[in-house]
Amino acid sequence: MQRITILGATGSIGASTLDVLARHPEKYQVHALTAHGRVDELAAQCRAFRPARAVVGTAEAAQRLAQLIADLPTSVEYGAQALCDVAASPDTDTVMAAIVGGAGLAPTLAAARAGKKVLLANKEALVMSGQLFMDAVKEHKATLLPIDSEHNAIFQSLPQSYARQPGDSGVARILLTASGGPFLNRAVDTLEDVTPEEACKHPNWVMGRKISVDSATMMNKGLEVIEAHWLFGAPAEMIEVVIHPQSVIHSMVSYVDGSVVAQLGNPDMRTPIAHALAFPERIESGVGQLDLTRMASLQFHRPDYQRFPCLALAFEALRDGGTAPALLNAANEVAVQAFLDRRIGFRDIDRVIGRVMDEIAHGAAASIEAVMEQDARARAAAERVVAGLARA
Ligand code: NAD
Ligand code: MG
């Protein structure tokens, strides 16, 4: 029996994870479920999966949840420390890290430091803490498996020898595919007028609102380049972004002999979730078999950095190193929220990030405290830029 904690159970990834778990009750048992504010949904999940512990964001939310599930054996907790506790608990083997944004860093790191099997969906956590996170995984003998569909595809396409000796494994490049999001072909001069509803309407995937906006700006791909850098120890030059609007090939690895190995499948996150849960075995995920004969065509082209300046900003942050990716991530989180709240326009997102990156000098990412300090400074600076743009 694998005992699982799901951080961010009420989100898109959280719900897909529970869907896969429900298909294999003999293999998996839910230890803890966490959510920020959606108490009713969490209560329904507790009823269905009967976890030992449930964590919410505030005392009020905890009180409501406790009332809703008073007849269950689940103990209710709240707050940041409780998230870290359920992630590091001796009663859990595996932690699905599916909180969105920097809020997920502390509990994801706590899981790594406790030597858990960490299934990483929360890419922002790794973007912020990079080397520190990977060092914690190594030091505490945690197992890190990627949930992001591209990284899961790369993981599946790499040779077994890569983890031991990446230099001798014959890998030439990592080809990170990107759908290009909803604005791949929209006239560039109309991007100023995009609404949150339009930005959240992804052509191939149904996801949370933050990652949906990130996909529309292609910051999502930028964060994924940084994520790939850390997960696979690959320098920026080795990672190539390829636009593939159909999202059927989830990413590829090319080799020195000219071979390209790819992972394909229907665009449904239950496939990478099931892969990581059962690794190295395979389990049924609920995703149907891919019917290649129904695919009209598969297209590939290079990204347009004029249309998607966020992608260029992310490559820049990766090359700058240190706390630069943490600054990028923090500014992006603030800008995306401001856009969703209709305080700034769509194109203002990259303006906010660009200005914050210019304003704040990045430093060494020597400790998590140093990273969090830079994160806080970048958020404050981004709020100031947002306020200025909102007044303009
Ligand atoms: P979502 O918005 O649907 O869900 C987010 C979850 O995090 C919710 O359970 C919410 O309660 C919780 N949460 C939000 N703020 C919190 C806070 N301050 N403290 C504690 N918990 C908080 O998001 P999602 O689409 O499921 O994405 C989750 C993560 O997975 C993101 O990092 C995203 O980039 C990544 N990811 C998602 C997809 C996808 O298909 N949805 C694919 C790849 C990667
Ligand atoms: Mg992805």
Do 241 and 273 fall within a single domain? yes
- pLDDT (0 to 100) of residue 295: 83
Cα–ligand 2 centroid distance for 179 (angstroms)? 10
Is residue 252 over pLDDT 90?
A: yes
Do 168 and 98 fall within a single domain? no
- Is 195 annotated in a binding site? The answer is no
Spatial CB neighbours of 337, under 8 Å, sequence gap ≥ 6: 210
Name the 3-class secondary structure at 5. strand
Residue 335 and residue 357 in contact, taking contact as beta carbons nearer than 8 Å: no
- pLDDT (0 to 100) of residue 204: 86
93-104 in b/e burial notation, b at 16+ Cβ within 10 A? bbbbbbbbbbbb
Do 24 and 132 fall within a single domain? yes
Q: Is the pTM of this model over 0.85?
A: yes
Of the residues 105, 124, 146, the one at which a domain ends:
146
Of the residues 127, 146, 165, the one at which a domain ends:
146
- pLDDT (0 to 100) of residue 194: 95
The residue contributing the CA closest to ligand 1 atom 16 is 36
Model confidence pLDDT, tens digit, residues 10-48 = 999 999 999 999 999 999 999 999 999 999 999 999 999
Do 87 and 206 fall within a single domain? no
- pLDDT (0 to 100) of residue 42: 98
| 171-178 β-sheet, strand order | 239-243, 171-178, 249-255, 260-264
In a domain, 300, yes or no: no
Cα–ligand 2 centroid distance for 151 (angstroms)? 7
Cα–ligand 1 centroid distance for 161 (angstroms)? 32
- If pLDDT is split at 50, 70 and 90, which confidence band does 60 have? very high
Do 220 and 162 fall within a single domain? yes
Q: Which atom of ligand 1 is nearest to the CA of 206?
A: 40
Model confidence pLDDT, tens digit, residues 333-381 = 999 999 999 999 999 999 999 999 999 999 999 999 999 999 999 999 9
The ligand that comes nearest to the alpha carbon of residue 251 is 2
Name the 3-class secondary structure at 177. strand
Domain count, the chain: 3
Residue 50 and residue 74 in contact, taking contact as beta carbons nearer than 8 Å: yes
The residue contributing the CA closest to ligand 1 atom 32 is 122
Using CB distances shorter than 6 Å, the residues near ligand 1 are: 8-14, 35-36, 38, 57, 98-100, 103, 121-124, 148, 205, 207-208, 210-211, 269
Question: Which residue shows structure tokens 């077994």?
Answer: 160
Is residue 392 over pLDDT 80?
A: no
- pLDDT (0 to 100) of residue 98: 98
Rounded to whole angstroms, the Cα distance separating 96 from 306 reads: 36
- pLDDT (0 to 100) of residue 149: 98
Of the residues 90, 121, 146, the one at which a domain ends:
146
- Is 129 annotated in a binding site? The answer is no
Q: Which atom of ligand 1 is nearest to the CA of 209?
A: 2
Do 177 and 289 fall within a single domain? yes
**Residue among 359, 363, 367 nearest 379 (CA):** 359
The residue contributing the CA closest to ligand 1 atom 40 is 207
Which neighbouring-strand residues pair with 77?
55
Helix, strand, coil % in the chain, rounded to nearest 5: 50, 15, 35
The residue contributing the CA closest to ligand 1 atom 7 is 99
Model confidence pLDDT, tens digit, residues 89-129 = 999 999 999 999 999 999 999 999 999 999 999 999 999 99
In a domain, 278, yes or no: yes
- Is 8 annotated in a binding site? The answer is no
Question: Which residue shows structure tokens 């800008």?
Answer: 335
Model confidence pLDDT, tens digit, residues 300-343 = 999 999 999 999 999 999 999 999 999 999 999 999 999 999 99
Do 333 and 374 fall within a single domain? yes
Do 289 and 195 fall within a single domain? yes
Model confidence pLDDT, tens digit, residues 194-245 = 999 999 998 888 899 999 999 999 999 999 999 999 999 999 999 999 999 9
Spatial CB neighbours of 225, under 8 Å, sequence gap ≥ 6: 176, 236, 239, 241, 311, 314, 315, 318
Rounded to whole angstroms, the Cα distance separating 344 from 68 reads: 38
Give the residue numbers spanning the domain of 78.
Answer: 2-146
- pLDDT (0 to 100) of residue 127: 98
